[in-house]
Amino acid sequence: MRLFWELCKLAFRRQLTYRAATLAGLTTNFFFGLLRAALMAALYGTRQEVAGISLAAAVTFTGLTQATIGYLSLFSWYEVMNSVYTGDISSDLLKPMDYFLFWLAQDLGRAIVALLMRGLTMMAAYALIFDVVWPHGAAQWLALAVALALSWLVSFSWRFLINLAAFWTPGAQGVGRFIFGLSWFTSGFLMPLRFFPDWFQHLCNLTPFPAMINTVVEVYLGVLTSPKLIQALLGQALWAVILIGAGQLVLRAGVRRLVIQGG
C-alpha cells in the first residue's frame, strides 16, 4: 500500500510540472465550453426548463462536463497500450506490485492534479461569466464527492480494459478511438441523457458510460430524489467492480500470450 501512495505522489508531482500544458488545455476546454453554452442557449430559446433542467443548469452542465475532461481523460488514454508496443511492459510486470494497481496509482495522481488545476479553475471561470448553479447543502456536496470518486474509478477501469486490446492487435488505437467516440455520446458528455428519448436512455443505461459522467451531472444538478441518488451511486460502484474484474481476467489472458521481442 505504501508503494501505491508513493507512485501516486510521483505521478501527482510529474503532472504538476506540466504547467504550460495545463494552461493550454484549460484555455481550449474553456473555449469549447463557451461554444457549448451558446448552443444550449440557442436550443432553449424561450423555454425556461426542459426535462427538469433550467437553462442556467444546462449552461452549468457544459462547464461541469468540460471540467471533467482532464480528470477522466475523456478524449484519449493509451499509456498501457503504448507500454505493450514499446515493450516497457516487460519491466513493469516484474515490479513487486499488482499491474492494475501500478497504473491505478499513477492515474490517481494525474487525476487529482487535473481535478484541482483544470476542474476547479474551469468552474471558477464559468462562475465569472455565467449564472452557475451550485449543489445545495452538505449532503449534496458529499454525494457529489462520492460520485466524482466513483466516476474516476469506473473511467480508469474501463480505460485500462480497452488498452488491453493491445495484446491482441497492433492497431488497438483504432479500437480505442472508436470506443472513446461512443463514450462521449452515451456517457451524457455531449448532452444530458435526460434530453434524449426514453428508449435511448434505457440503451445507455445498459453500458457503464453513464456511470462516468451522467451520474456526476445528475448528482451535481440535484435532479435525483434520495432513493434514486443512492441507486445511482450503487450503480457506479457495481460498474467499477464489474470492470475491474473484467480487466483482471483479460489481463491474465493477455499476459499469457505476450511475447517480448528480445534485443
Partner 1 sequence: MKATLDLYRRLIGVQIRSQLQYRAAFLTDLIGQGMATGIWFLSLALILQRFESIGGWSLGEVAFLYGTVETAFGTMDMIFSGFDPRFFGQQVRRGTFDQLLLRPVSITLQVLGSEFVLRRMGRIVQGVAILAVAVTLTDVRWTPLKLAYLPVVLTSLVCFFGGLFIIGSTITFWTIESIEVVNIFTYGGSELMSYPMHIYQEWMRRFFTYIVPAIFLNYYPALFILDKPDPFGLPPFAPFLAPAAGFGVLAAGLALWRFGIRHYQSTGS
Interface residues with partner 1 (CB under 8 A) are 20-21, 24-25, 27-28, 31-32, 34-35, 38-39, 41-45, 47, 50-51, 169-171, 173-178, 181-182, 184-185, 190-191, 195-197, 200
Tracing cell 485500462 back to the chain, one arrives at 160
- 108 vs 212, which CB is nearer to partner 1? 212
C-alpha cell at 206: 445498459
User: What is the nearest approach in angstroms of partner 1 to the Cβ of residue 213?
Assistant: 14
- 28 vs 231, which CB is nearer to partner 1? 28
- 119 vs 192, which CB is nearer to partner 1? 192
How far apart CA 26 and CA 68 sit, in angstroms, is 11
SS3 label, residue 50: strand
User: What is the nearest approach in angstroms of partner 1 to the Cβ of residue 9?
Assistant: 26
User: What is the nearest approach in angstroms of partner 1 to the Cβ of residue 80?
Assistant: 17
- 51 vs 241, which CB is nearer to partner 1? 51
Q: How far is CA 136 from CA 141, 219, 223, in A?
A: 7, 11, 11
Residue 15: partners with Cβ closer than 8 Å, 6 or more residues away = 109, 110, 113, 114
Instruction: Judge contact between 68 and 216, C-beta under 8 A.
Output: yes
How far apart CA 66 and CA 144 sit, in angstroms, is 16
How far apart CA 78 and CA 57 sit, in angstroms, is 33
User: What is the nearest approach in angstroms of partner 1 to the Cβ of residue 59?
Assistant: 12
- 127 vs 234, which CB is nearer to partner 1? 127
